């Protein structure tokens, strides 16, 4: 019998491996277009620029700073392993470099969440399964170190 499928673990492939390797080293990467006249940063990682369709796209380390764009607090989810994390806060954050990113806000009570609140990247490791990718999450600035 194989491992039970997990819905919270991303798939790593050859293209996204640099992103997940950087996350394991607690660095957040984004993609940036190097085409003349473009320079757009984007996330989620794509092989071509979503703005100009250029193919001169490279990995770049992000600052890790963001602001909260929108969120939802989930109080009920029976799927494993989400049930053990209740409540949790999936969110869209706007990175300092411009792109918006789906993530999760951690270390913040529901009542303290505000549009535009400053956040900083943190990294979630699964101690039960060290082989799972390290996942970028965000926490309020000044929380947790």
Find out whether 90 and 77 touch, Cβ atoms under 8 Å: no
Is 7 part of any domain? Answer: no
Residue 145 has pLDDT above 60, yes or no: no
Across 68-80, average pLDDT: 89
Q: How far apart are CA 42 and CA 113, in angstroms?
A: 25
Is 92 part of any domain? Answer: yes
Across 17-36, average pLDDT: 97
Is 59 part of any domain? Answer: yes
pLDDT band at 108, cuts 50/70/90?
A: very high
Is 134 part of any domain? Answer: yes
Is 38 part of any domain? Answer: yes
- Residue 102 contacts by C-beta under 8 Å, 6 or more apart in sequence? 44, 90, 91, 92
Is 5 part of any domain? Answer: no
Is 23 part of any domain? Answer: yes
What's residue 143's pLDDT? 64
Across 10-18, average pLDDT: 91
Residue 112 has pLDDT above 70, yes or no: yes
What's residue 4's pLDDT? 62
Count of structural domains within the chain: 1
Residue 7 has pLDDT above 80, yes or no: no
Is 12 part of any domain? Answer: no
Residue 8 has pLDDT above 90, yes or no: no
Across 9-26, average pLDDT: 93
What's residue 142's pLDDT? 82
The residue segments making up the domain with residue 124 are: 17-140
Q: What are 2's strand-pairing partners?
A: none
Burial 30-47 (b: 16+ CB within 10 A, else e): bbbbebeeeebbbbeeee
What's residue 84's pLDDT? 77
């Amino acid at each position: 019998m194989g491992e039970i499928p997990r819905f919270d673990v991303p798939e790593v492939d050859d293209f996204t491996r640099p992103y997940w390797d950087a996350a394991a080293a607690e660095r957040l990467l984004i993609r940036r277009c190097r085409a003349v006249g473009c320079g757009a940063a984007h996330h989620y990682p794509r092989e071509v620029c979503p703005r100009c369709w250029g193919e001169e796209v490279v990995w770049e380390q992000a600052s890790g700073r963001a602001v909260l764009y929108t969120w939802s607090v989930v109080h009920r989810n029976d799927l494993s392993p989400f049930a053990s994390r209740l409540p949790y806060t999936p969110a869209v954050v706007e990175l300092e470099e411009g792109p918006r990113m789906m993530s999760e806000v951690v270390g913040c009570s529901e009542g303290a969440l505000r549009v535009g609140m400053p956040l900083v990247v943190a990294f979630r490791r699964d101690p039960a399964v060290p082989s799972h990718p390290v996942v970028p999450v965000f926490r309020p600035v000044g929380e947790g170190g």
